Structure 1
């Protein structure tokens, strides 16, 4: 049994103050776990390379079809036969090229001859007096601050994210060319590109200018029959691609913002329902340790919960009450021990003081006998107190094992019957032939059976009988000890199990028992998850014919 002083010292030990945190670690974990999935989803959705490549591929295909149409029209209407060869007529192809491009304001077309010289440009026309006028580029569509911010964040994100393998469409996002130069160079100095253009094998060129325009360029040869007469270089600003990508990114970011707000709110709700109650339980435990709230300082709202936290709160409340009950029991036990030891010590002191004043040898011998009896009584009392103090600690450390109580009962009965005197009561054992296995500690079970058997024998009359009956009853094994003594006062059927209670038969020498036997027996039985009770035996007329003690232990 724990020492009372140690428990009281632990009870009043200072508790280190907790540092107040604005965001608890549990709340941080909840936020991280809840925010991470939508953040990864947003990053994955913003990483729209495949979708962008698909849009650009469709744009390239449409522009290539348009370039083929322009090339076919120019080859048919802008050429003449010279020496069985078709040659371009600049005066015819220039207005034709501008007329073809007019329906597409965001498109520029150039016509090169087979040597790479520019024959016509849709943005160049002749003004009055033969002056050459270059038409300005259509202004880019106005973009708000939100659009620019999203585009900038997206571009930074693309630079951080790992890029996959080479795709069919590559975008040059950092060109060296100035923003007013829409088209790539396809002059006489670029002979390889010129040869590929005449053969129809130039790869589409996609780039983004300094002012944010996304440009797509394709080159298609103009053929009349099987003869190449020139190259049509068509460049268009892919505004629809940027617009669609922006709409998708804005939608994804909007969904992410909404998901983030909902996630934070749900995380705060989880923290309110999980982290805060746990902190309240920690505060309640600290308050209990400081000695506050003996009845329990756990908030009623936490106790009323039906989830795992409510179970934990109720278990904490029960543990605190059990601890306080143990402390109160220890205090009462200490007071009872002091009281029980004071009686024999007072008797010894009185006998010693009297012994000093008398000289009669007979009286001195009687006083010495009293001192010796009180010493034996104190020794027995101290031994029983020590045993009672060790029971709880021993049972808490010892693992219960299967124990067959049949040989224990038969050995105790045979030992008494073999050594009893003729007038002493007889022990009658009634038990089944098979084993009666319970979960317990063998040494302590022997102590319980010996205490009950000795108690019954001490109250039985001469030539009487004590019955010991054992039988299985479902999940329990029942052991009953009956005697033919005077019985137990009805008001004391429960009180006889209290410490230092002693109700001895008439004629028994005072101080022979400490009053702890039944109390220790109850400690052992309840420590083994069993039950012990006392009642009176009665005859058909209701007259008390003896006492009966009933023990129930769980089957192994």
Structure 2
């Protein structure tokens, strides 16, 4: 026989999906990490964007330098000028050493003195060396930075290049890194008359820029006046190292805090994933095992069942659903076996009657055999109808939405119907129930079937001209309906078995095969499907003698 190439995977043979594969980083973990990391990352980015704080530091630096420049200008105007024709004249020979002495306590500061025409008169960085040579002192080198500080500064500069930058009020900014590092201030030479005029009037805007070697330079200009007469301009330039140092410290602190927060966030995210994603994957694996027929006694891990959170609720519900499913499968298997057994009896009788009918020629015997075949056919038809009704009950109740139903009118209608068709020798039905107000949640057609079945069952067991009492009343959160007869009662050992399928306990004298044994089973299916209960017990007199049977139905109030 040729090989037809059947798949070797059991899941492929059954058409079931393969169990979910475990991933090192699940989509849920990625979402948890993203949601947990995003807020501290945004906070760190916002705190690294410290323009407002930097502006405050620069404003304080500018104000301090303006005060210092005014002091220098006042000292030079008083000590390095002379009166000539009632006009103050600047004396460069006196101004140069005085300017150097004033700037000496500030190593990172350079001062220049311009006269009223814009020419440089004195420079604190220019000194007279040996032999009258002019020596220009080099700038102090930038403070060395470690690899970490360079990395932080580089990352910060890249970040700021992507963000919008606001302008600093009252500050002129130059961010050209290609400017030479020795040119510490804008040109105030004679070719720039407007800036010269503004400087003599004290209206030059402070000037801030960063050089190619990373220096942050601040320049301010203040006029030197003697009386009300301007004698020159003091241009003061300083490297704002403290501003950069404080900003770096804050950035490093922010990044350190962010690093700690990141580690804690990742650890908490993995912990959260272990308590959420991993149990969900275990539940998915359990569901896949159940789908493939494994875990009949329960494949959900016990640890998940013991949890008191939503995962535990889901695990217990999954376990309950699996057990209910297996119970339904077992019930269907037993039902199929019972149906086969119950149908086999009338079929065997029909087959035996047909075989006998072929061998005999007596017309009277043939008529009796044909009557047996007809009765068995009717019995099988009734049995098949009841089996079909029983199999439809669960499906119908699962599809139909329960609505408020008042059972009092149903009971009254059944009692009136019996009264209208009652023969003199038939039992009497006594109803003790209010006209309305016994509202339950259910399906009206199925409730009618339950009460009609119980009432018919009680009438069939009651003696001639006996009484069947039907009582209905509210009982807390339930509505209780009791059906009592005056029959022989129910064997004590059979009080629970009478609700099983195909079980029949009929009165003596009744012909065999008139009932399928599914009536009470269908009643229990309907009542329990509506979240109610049904039970049977015997009625007894004062001496303890059985005087009838009692069926009690309880349904939840709507």
TM-score range normalised by the length of the shorter chain = over 0.9
1:206 aligns with 2:213: no
Q: Distance in 2 between the 1:241 and 1:10 partners?
A: 70
Cα shift readout 1:92-135 (whole Å, capped 9, x = no counterpart): 11111111111111010111111111111111111111111111
Partner of 2:37: 35
Partners of 2:296 and 2:458 in 1: CA distance: 40
The residue that corresponds to 1:4 in the other structure is none
Deviation digits for residues 381-439 of structure 1 (CA, Å, limit 9, x no counterpart): 00000000111111111122222222222222222233222222111222234442222
Instruction: Quote the offset at 1:26 in angstroms.
Output: 1.0
Of 362, 365, 387, 2:364 maps to 362
1:379 counterpart = 2:381: yes
Q: Is the 8 A contact 1:15 1:290 kept in 2?
A: no
Partner residue in 2 for 1:99 = 101
Aligned pairs for 1:409-420 within 5 A: 409-420=411-422
Structure 2 residue aligned with 1:297: 299
Secondary structure of the 2:469 match is strand
Secondary structure of the 1:367 match is: helix
Please report how far the alpha carbon of residue 357 of structure 1 lies from its aligned counterpart in structure 2 after TM superposition.
0.9
- Pairs within 5 Å for 1:251-270: 251-270=253-272
Quick check: 1:276 aligned with 2:317? Answer: no
Q: Does the CA contact (< 8 Å) of 2:170 and 2:206 recur in 1?
A: no
Give yes or no for contact 1:53–1:169 (8 Å, CA) kept in 2: no
How far did residue 543 of structure 1 move? Answer: 0.9
SS for the counterpart of 2:502 is coil
Q: Kindly report the root-mean-square deviation, in angstroms, between the aligned alpha carbons of the 2 structures.
A: 1.6
Partner of 1:541: 543
SS of the residue 1:403 aligns to: strand
Per-residue CA distance 1:233-269 (angstroms, 9 max, x = gap): 1101111111111111110111011111111111111
- Quote the residue 1:5 is aligned against: none
* Residue 173 of structure 1, CA deviation: 2.6
Aligned position for 2:534 = 532
1:222 partner SS: strand
Secondary structure in structure 1 of the residue aligned to 2:208 = strand
Residue matched to 2:190: 188
CA contact (8 A) 1:109 1:232 kept: yes
**Where does residue 325 of structure 2 map in the other structure?**
323
4+ residue runs over 6 A deviation: none
Residues 170, 205 of structure 2: 8 Å contact kept: no
C-alpha distance in structure 2 between counterparts of 1:298 and 1:17, whole Å: 14
CA distance in 2, matches of 1:108, 1:435: 101
Cα distance, 1:165 vs structure 2 = 5.4
Looking at structure 1, the residues matched to 224 and 409 of structure 2 have their Cα atoms a distance apart, in angstroms, of: 114
Alpha-carbon distance between aligned partners in 2 of 1:525 and 1:12, rounded to the nearest angstrom: 36
Is 1:555 equivalent to 2:557 in the alignment? Answer: yes
Contact 2:55-2:168 within 8 A present in 1 as well: no
SS in 2 for 1:110: strand
**TM-score (normalizing by structure 2):** 0.96
Please give the alpha-carbon distance, in whole angstroms, between the structure 1 residues aligned to 2:260 and 2:123.
50
Aligned to 2:128: 126
Per-residue deviation, residues 46-83 of structure 1 (Å, max 9, x unmatched): 11111100100110111111111111111111111122
Q: List per-residue Cα deviations over 1:348-397 (Å, max 9, x = no partner).
A: 11111111111111111111011000000000000000000111111111
Cα distance in structure 1, aligned partners of 2:351 and 2:121? 137
Change in Cα spacing, 1:144 to 1:92, as seen in structure 2 (3 Å) is same
1:455 to 454, 457, 462: 457
- Whether 1:343 and 2:345 are equivalent positions in the alignment is yes
Would you say the 8 A contact 2:346–2:379 is kept in 1?
Answer: yes
CA deviation vs aligned residue, 1:313-347 (integer Å, no higher than 9, x gap): 11111011001100110010011001100110111
Matches within 5 A, 1:73-112: 73-112=75-114
Does the 8 A contact of 2:409 with 2:436 survive in 1? no
Gaps of 5+ in 1: 1-8
> What SS does the corresponding residue of 1:537 show, helix, strand or coil?
strand
User: Is it true that 1:15 corresponds to 2:17 in the alignment?
Assistant: yes
2:159 corresponds to which residue? 157
| Corresponding residue of 1:442 | 444
Task: Give 1:183 shift.
Answer: 2.6
Q: Is the CA contact (8 Å cut-off) linking 1:111 and 1:231 kept in structure 2? A: yes
Partners in 2 of 1:262 and 1:436 — Cα distance? 61
Contact 1:81 1:87 in 2 (8 A): yes
Map 1:466-481 to 2 at 5 A.
466-481=468-483
Return the offset for 1:17: 4.6
Secondary structure at the aligned position of 1:472 is classed as strand
In the alignment of these two chains, the number of paired residues is 548
Moved more, 120-129 or 426-435: 426-435
Residue 333 of structure 1, aligned match among 332, 335, 344: 335
Judged with a 3 Å threshold, the aligned counterparts in structure 2 of structure 1 residues 44 and 468 are, in CA distance, closer, same or farther, namely: same
Rounded Cα–Cα distance in structure 2 between residues aligned with 1:275 and 1:186 = 69
Q: How has the CA–CA distance of structure 1 residues 444 and 99 changed in structure 2, closer, same or farther, with 3 Å as cutoff? A: same
